[in-house]
């Protein structure tokens, strides 16, 4: 397995990592087989989160036994010092370890959240205290809005940044350049565009040609582990005919694909449009049906609250048919 240095952390991580979302839908025994298989094939970077139900616990079944072979990353939506401190302890307990290599501020999507995190009583204080105690190694940030992540990196507080980047979502020059200048590691989530890209070998191969550190596709079968690990071991640049195939696939995704830029917000009816589409993707592409529907239930305004005013479509830089997409999502995610 090829390795790259995780920015200024100095950690050497496999170019193909393990994304911890799909492991939620398999049994504990299947998870044990999967994680052991990943480690045996040279995958050493494992990313999970407090919000991924039992993902931390399932990874921990193996990682606590093979701790020296793994670099563990997890993350929390907590924004306050108290909340983050509590989540760090919960992560340690769930994983069954006494040390986490990378702890990330998860899904930072507005300036208010970032300001709260770096405030005198914010999550960053708890992370630094945990770092000084030796229970976490490094601090990172994740999100979908590149402008906000650029602001975060300019603070100098984050050693890694994780965001969606793939053959569809390619607009990342400013963030990539700043990460390079500051020696901040790039962790790529959604490398298959949330499962929309079906040719994993070409989609991941495309990313391996980019200035990123590690790519974390979600995997829930040994076949996926074997194929992705093989790519990380024997990767060579895409051939011209492979570029053609990949381009054809990305073009087929066409208009009906949300990049989660959030320019459509705010919705007059209070609908969190990108989150609706994200949950629909988990339902349809990741087969996390129950998980997605439960989270959809928690939304204050559901997709069927749309009154088809069209303001969102006027603001969407990708000209998505958002009204129709909301209607479709409502039909998929609603009970019944």
Residues near 165 by Cβ (< 8 Å), separated by ≥ 6?
A: 172, 186, 188, 189, 190, 191, 207, 210, 212
Q: Write down the pLDDT at residue 223.
A: 95
Q: Write down the pLDDT at residue 315.
A: 83
Whole-number Å distance between alpha carbons of 277 and 262: 11
Q: Write down the pLDDT at residue 262.
A: 72
Q: First CA to last CA across the chain, in angstroms?
A: 46
Q: Write down the pLDDT at residue 159.
A: 98
* Residue ranges in the chain assigned as alpha helix (H): 28-40, 55-63, 81-95, 111-117, 123-132, 146-154, 173-182, 200-208, 222-234, 240-253, 273-284, 289-297, 311-315, 322-333
Pair type for strands 136-142 and 160-164:
parallel
List the chain pLDDT tens, one digit each, 336 residues. 999 999 999 999 999 999 998 898 899 999 999 999 999 999 999 999 998 989 999 999 999 999 999 999 999 999 999 999 999 999 999 999 999 999 999 999 889 999 999 999 999 999 999 999 999 999 999 998 899 999 999 999 999 999 999 998 888 999 999 999 999 999 999 898 877 788 899 999 999 999 999 999 999 899 999 999 999 998 889 999 999 999 988 887 655 678 766 778 899 999 999 899 989 988 887 778 999 999 999 999 999 999 999 999 988 867 789 999 999 999 999 875
Q: Which domains does the chain have, with CATH numbers?
A: 3-244 (3.20.20.100), 273-333 (no CATH)
pTM metric for this prediction:
0.83
Q: Write down the pLDDT at residue 256.
A: 65
Q: Write down the pLDDT at residue 254.
A: 59
Name the one residue in this structure whose structure tokens are 């990592």: 17
């Amino acid at each position: 397995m090829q390795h790259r240095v995780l920015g200024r952390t100095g950690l050497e991580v496999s170019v193909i990592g393990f994304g911890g979302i799909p492991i939620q839908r398999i049994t504990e025994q299947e998870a044990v087989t999967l994680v052991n298989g990943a480690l045996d094939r040279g995958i050493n970077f494992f990313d999970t989160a407090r919000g991924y139900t039992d993902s931390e616990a399932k990874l921990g079944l193996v990682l606590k036994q093979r701790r020296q072979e793994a670099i563990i990353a997890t993350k929390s939506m907590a924004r306050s010092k108290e909340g983050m401190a509590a989540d760090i302890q919960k992560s340690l307990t769930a994983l069954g370890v006494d040390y986490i290599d990378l702890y990330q501020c998860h899904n930072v999507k507005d300036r208010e959240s970032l300001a709260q995190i770096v405030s005198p009583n914010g999550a960053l204080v708890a992370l630094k205290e945990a770092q000084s105690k030796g229970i976490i190694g490094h601090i990172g940030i994740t999100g979908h809005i590149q402008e906000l992540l650029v602001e975060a990196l300019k603070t100098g507080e984050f050693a890694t940044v994780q965001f969606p980047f793939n053959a569809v979502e390619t607009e990342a020059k400013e963030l990539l350049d700043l990460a390079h200048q500051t020696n901040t590691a790039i962790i790529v989530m959604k490398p298959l565009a949330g499962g929309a890209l079906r040719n994993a070998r070409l989609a991941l191969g495309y990313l391996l040609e980019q200035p990123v550190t590690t790519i974390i596709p979600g995997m829930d079968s040994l076949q996926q582990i074997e194929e992705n690990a093989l790519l990380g071991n024997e990767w060579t640049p895409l051939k011209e005919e492979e570029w053609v195939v990949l381009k054809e696939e990305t073009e087929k995704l066409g208009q009906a694909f949300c990049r989660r830029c959030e320019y459509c917000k705010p919705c007059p009816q209070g609908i969190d449009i990108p989150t609706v589409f994200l949950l629909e993707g988990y339902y349809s592409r990741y087969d996390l049906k129950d998980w997605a529907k439960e989270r959809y239930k928690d939304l204050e305004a559901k997709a069927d609250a749309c009154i088809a005013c069209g303001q969102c479509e006027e603001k969407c830089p990708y000209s998505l048919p958002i009204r129709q997409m909301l209607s479709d999502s409502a039909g998929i995610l609603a009970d019944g």
